[in-house]
Structure 1
Amino acid sequence: MNAVFLDRDTFNQDIDLSAIEQQCSNLQCYAMTQQTQIIERCKNAHIIISNKVMLSAATLQQLPQLKLVCIAATGTNNIDLIAAKELGITVTNVAAYAKHTVPQYVFAQILAYYSKTEQHNRNTQLGLWSQSEIFCVLGQPMYQLANKTLGLIGYGALAQAVEKIALAFDMQVIIAEHAGAKTIRPGRVSFEQLLTDSDIISLHCPQTPDTTGLINAKVLKQMKPTAMLINTARGALVDNSALLTALQTGEIAYAVLDVLEQEPPPKDHILLNAGLDNLKITAHIAWACQEAQQDLLNIIGQNIESFKQGENLNRIV
């Protein structure tokens, strides 16, 4: 089976593709692919591998040999699933590959903020320790995580892994019910209670019509003024203008964003140009530890093997 990888450069170059190559008679990789290049590059493909390249109904209809689309991610919003089903094209994705790396990122950011590691390292680099009249340089206050409350919005595999680490730090963990829900499931708290009780809120829910703009001005006003917000899920969960105002006015203390609503973002994005010390933005890398990247591509190989054998591993349609 002929396979085409449309956006190979969304993975580090030293990540091994052999698990995929073993399942294909030919694998053609392109660094990136524009919409106008898809048809020509994939006209003989039985399999397309795509991380973020959009595959519309119009595109799929022009690829009669296509049998399988392997999404190199968990989210499938870059393919028209209805059209794929109508055309008899199988679609698979990859889940749980980042079950260690995303929680590691979340706590790397939490620990950096609560322990002020960057600031204390800078104090030493500036020579303040050598100048100190006492044995240490206290500098900015640090705070322990024990007994702090971590609120999770979304409770899939990643959130559960974050919870496990939090409990090891003797933190309190609460899980939000859906916003606006009339009943509260066992083991959860209302969305509003999570906002008011949490010292840290970490987002792990999918982007849907109900969750787009979930973190808005009203929500931010309900959070503690000392609260930290972390978003490793989807950028559109957060209202950027509302977050900027909340950080500028002290409605919340700190925010870490690994995702934005447009990726890559424009140079004039309001958050990238905010110049705030209490906002940290990284370039959608929480998932991208070397091991996670390798696991993801290995699972794609397993998905292809499963498809060839008539099985349904990680099949979406």
Structure 2
Amino acid sequence: MKIVLLDGYTLNPGDLNWAPLQEIGDFTVYDRVKPDEIVEKAKEADILLTNKSKLTAEILEQLPKVKYIGVTATGYNIVDTEAARKRNIPVTNVSEYSSRAVAQHTFSLILHFTNDVARLNESVRQKQWAKSPDFCYSFSPLTELSGKTLGLIGFGSIAKEVAKIAHAFGMRVIAHRRSEKPATGFEFVEILPLETAFRESDVVSLHCPLTEETKGIINAERLGWMKPTSYLINTGRGPLIVDQDLADALNQGVIAGAGLDVLSVEPPSLDNPLPEAKNCVITPHVAWLAFEARRRLLQMTADNIKAFLNGTPINVVN
């Protein structure tokens, strides 16, 4: 059984053991491949694994040996699932492996704005504290989260972990999702209409899937619903946001700031307006990158393959 992973570096830059996949069959991993190299690298694969390498219908037509495609991520839009289905190739993904890690990163972005740790630390390194006439100082008022309102757009596994943390901080937690019923164990979360959630939140955090309906859900109109003192956090999907609309809102003071871990195109184009926007903090899609989360992802990828080989496939998305 020949297993090929097209882009393994981000999953395992060297700190994990490939044993869970090596134990299943003849395993070959590439750090990354260019689009025009995919067919050559994958032509002998029975099992093909990908994270961000796109598998189009045209590419799949040139890979007649492939019997199974595993996406080493939750999102699977990089695979033409319909083309795979027509060839009876199951496509699987891995979900909920990084919920706690992404929730943790969500709050690291929120706390950046409330506690200003990086800027204060840099000022101390620049000897500003040593020269201060007072025993303490800040550049802007620091903010207590207790009593503030967190609005979650989407209420899946990651949003639930974020809600738990927010509740522990003493925040009011509201959410917008398709179902109006509160989830069991989350009765403290108020389910509200979309516009109400935007208008009442001090922090809006995006956790909805990327669909035709949610693409560009953050646009000029909805940013206008937010308080001028509020913050937008996105650890979900970059295309949920219209980049220029958010940049304009930040530069014009429509909202106070934005913390982003994802952008509409990754790596970003040089003309993306957000890295230069006022009070916009961006991390390079690392919310999922915790060692423990990646180890979990690797094992769950192997478990998906084993289930397929045993004739009981799991996590099939097509």
TM range (shorter): over 0.9
State the secondary structure of the residue aligned to 2:233: strand
Tell me the amino acid that sits aligned with residue 71 of structure 2.
I
1:297 aligns with 2:268: no
* 1:46 corresponding residue in structure 2: 46
Unpaired runs of at least 5, structure 1? none
Structure 2 equivalent of residue 63 of structure 1: 63
Aligned-pair distance for 1:97? 0.8
- Please list, as runs of the form range in 1=range in 2, the aligned pairs for 1:227-246 lying within 5 A after superposition: 227-246=230-249
Q: Which residue of 2 aligns with 1:269?
A: 272
In structure 2, the residue matched to 1:16 is 17
- 1:85-164 map, 5 Å: 85-164=85-164
Inter-partner Cα distance in structure 1 for 2:54 and 2:66: 15
AA aligned opposite 1:235? G
> Residue type of the partner of 1:306?
A
Deviation of 1:177 after TM superposition, in Å, equals: 3.7
The aligned residue for residue 170 of structure 1 is 170
Contact 1:150 1:172 in 2 (8 A): yes
CA distance in 1, matches of 2:85, 2:167: 42
CA distance in 1, matches of 2:39, 2:112: 46
SS at match of 1:128: coil
- Give the structure 1 partner of residue 280 of structure 2: 279
> Residue 3 of structure 2 aligns to a residue in which SS?
strand
Tell whether the 8 Å contact from 1:17 to 1:298 is kept in structure 2 after alignment.
no
CA contact (8 A) 1:176 1:194 kept: yes
Does the 8 Å CA contact 1:177/1:185 hold for their aligned counterparts? no
DSSP-derived class of the 1:245 partner: helix
What is the aligned counterpart of 2:194 among 191, 194, 200? 191
What is the Cα deviation at residue 275 of structure 1?
Answer: 5.0
Distance 2:205 2:24 in 1: 38
| Contact in 1 for aligned 2:247/2:277 (Cα 8 Å) | no
CA contact (8 A) 1:49 1:70 kept: yes
**1:146–1:171 CA contact under 8 A, matched in 2:** yes
**Structure 1 residues 217 and 161, CA, compared in 2 at 3 Å: closer, same or farther?**
same
**AA at the equivalent of 2:79:** I
Q: Which runs of 5+ in 2 are unaligned?
A: 183-189
- CA displacement at 1:185 relative to structure 2: 4.4
d(CA) in 1 for partners of 2:170, 2:32: 45
2:79 — aligned with what? 79
SS of 1:10's equivalent?
Answer: coil
Question: Over residues 72-112 of structure 1, what are the superposed CA-to-partner deviations in whole Å (9 max), with x where a residue is unaligned?
Answer: 10011011111111101111110011111101101111112
Structure 2 counterpart of 1:216: 219
* Whole-angstrom distance in 2 between the partners of 1:314 and 1:60: 20
2 CA distance for matches of 1:298 and 1:123?
A: 43
Look up the equivalent residue of 2:91 and give its one-letter code: V
Residues 121-130 or 193-202, more deviating? 121-130
The letter for the 2-side match of 1:311 is T
Within-5 A mapping of 1:251-270: 251-270=254-273
**What is the RMSD of the two structures over their aligned residues, measured on CA atoms?**
1.5
What letter is aligned with 1:118? A
Report the Cα offset of residue 120 of structure 1.
2.2
Preserved contact between residue 119 and residue 140 of structure 1 (Cα < 8 Å): no
Would the aligned equivalents of 1:203 and 1:233 in 2 still touch at CA under 8 Å?
A: yes
Change (3 A) 1:129 1:84: same
> Counterpart amino acid of 1:154?
G
1:40 & 1:124 partners in 2: Cα distance? 54
- More deviation, 144-153/106-115: 106-115
Q: Match for residue 310 of structure 2?
A: 309
CA contact (8 A) 2:250 2:277 kept: no
**56-65 or 126-135: bigger deviation:** 126-135
Contact map agreement 1:61 1:87 (CA 8 A) in 2: no
The number of residues matched between the two structures is 310
Partners of 1:177 and 1:188 within 8 A in 2: yes
User: What's the TM-score once normalised by structure 2's chain length?
Assistant: 0.93
CA distance in 1, matches of 2:202, 2:117: 19
Query: Is the Cα contact below 8 Å between 1:128 and 1:137 reproduced in 2?
Result: no
